[in-house]
Amino acid sequence: MRKPWVYKRKHIKGWWCGWYEGGKRKAKALPTKSLAEHFRHIKYTQLNSDVFTSVVDFDWRHMVEEYRRFKQVEGRKDASIYEVLLTLRHFERLVGSGSSKQITQQSLDAFVLKRSEEVGKSTLNKDITNLRAFLKWAVRNRLVASGLEIRKVKVPQKPVIALTAEQVKDLLAAASRYPTLRLRVLLAVTTGLRRGDIETIRIGDVHFDRQTISTRNRKAGKAMPERPVPEETMTELSNYVATLPDGQERLLPDRFSPKKWDRIRDQVKFPGLTFQVLRKTFASLLAQRGVSTAVTQRLLEHSSPQLTNDVYTNVDPVLRQAISLLPVAGWALNPSVSQ
């Protein structure tokens, strides 16, 4: 039997849990003795999993705290961790949970039913996604029994709103009186970048020799090392950078102006146009020109092709083009021919 132990280090705040694994001594720091004891209990069961087959009865709030730290170690952004913790707070509020053993199939079903009375299906599915990830972690750490299921609810697919090539041309023409805003629009429709990622681009991130841009994905925390940029866009970037004063680091020194954006939307007669539509336009125009979903998914930095297809790509023109390929004219359809 391999036994971990709890100890305290002299003149250092907090407590430690130590154990031997793979012939090496390991340790984990925790803020309180109670948390250290709980972690020791978990580690004891993990180290002796060939002996123990049951789950560990772990305090719910300590369990949530351990999961938060796990997400931080994974490198998740604070906003992402907040969304997960919010889901877990809703679970505790609606179902109630004192320990890990109280997470059962019945409690999961009750959460979905009660939560569905408060929010729409899309928000409910986000909670289910967060809860699934939490359960996967809990099962792996022997805190929850395996075999629990929580299924997403079906959401009617909404049509994807995207601009046509002509509408993009009109939008760029309308934005020409605001150079930095026009550049934002151009980058969005030719790279698929989010507005927040465009705002963080520095001049040093633009590689004119390779026709690429290095970006940082503020939402997911992961980004392509360098993304390709069309030659025409790079030419406009080069002309724009040449007008900037020496020593400037940011590509776009000013802030995004909602008032200017509203004027442009009114001019092109598209009052509901959002910057997100430009990202969807990028994906839709690629699909309409035969680019595969795998390539578009990579450029949009999506985690799944389903998200790329269902939420970001307007394939109606593609479907219409596919239908037009049928050799209907050669079938000599003539309803006036007598039988």
Contacts of 284 (CB under 8 A, 6+ apart): 160, 162, 312, 313, 314, 315, 317
Measured distance CA(39)–CA(30) in Å, rounded? 9
The domain ranges of the chain are 1-53, 57-156, 165-323
pLDDT tens digit sequence for 272-305: 899 999 999 999 998 888 888 888 888 888 878 8
Measured distance CA(253)–CA(243) in Å, rounded? 12
Measured distance CA(242)–CA(238) in Å, rounded? 6
Measured distance CA(154)–CA(169) in Å, rounded? 37
**CATH for 57-156?**
1.10.150.130
What mean pLDDT comes out for the span 198-223?
Answer: 84
Measured distance CA(215)–CA(229) in Å, rounded? 12
Contacts of 283 (CB under 8 A, 6+ apart): 162, 192, 296, 300, 308, 312, 313
Percent of residues, the chain, with pLDDT higher than 90: 42
In the DSSP assignment, the letter for residue 49 is: T
The more confidently predicted of residues 94 and 45 is: 94
What SS3 class is residue 40?
helix
**CATH for 165-323?**
1.10.443.10
How wide is the angle at C-alpha 302 spanned by C-alphas 125 and 156, nearest 5°? 35
Would the pLDDT of 313 be above 90?
no
Measured distance CA(215)–CA(299) in Å, rounded? 12
Look at the block and give the residue holding tokens 């998200």: 307
Measured distance CA(201)–CA(214) in Å, rounded? 8
Most confident segment among 25-39, 183-197, 223-237, 286-300: 183-197
Query: Is residue 188 within 8 Å of residue 280, measured between CB atoms?
Result: no
| pLDDT score at 233 | 92
Q: What dihedral angle (degrees, nearest 10) is formed by the CA atoms of 253, 258, 262, 265?
A: 60
Q: Which of 121-135, 155-169, 312-326 has the lowest mean pLDDT?
A: 312-326
Reported confidence tier of residue 321, pLDDT bands at 50, 70, 90: confident
Q: Which of 63-77, 78-92, 196-210, 230-244 has the lowest mean pLDDT?
A: 63-77
Pairing of strands 206-207, 24-30: unpaired
pLDDT tens digit sequence for 48-90: 765 555 677 788 888 899 899 888 888 788 888 999 999 999 9
Cα 231 to chain centroid distance, Å, stands at 29
> What is the residue-averaged pLDDT of the chain?
85
230: number of Cβ within 10 Å: 12
Question: What is the crossing angle of helices 60-74 and 121-140, to 10°?
Answer: 90
In the DSSP assignment, the letter for residue 48 is: T
Measured distance CA(125)–CA(199) in Å, rounded? 30
Measured distance CA(227)–CA(217) in Å, rounded? 12
Pairing of strands 227-228, 15-21: unpaired
What tokens does 169 get? 């041309």
Q: How many helices (H) and strands (E) does the chain have?
A: 14, 6
Would the pLDDT of 327 be above 70?
yes
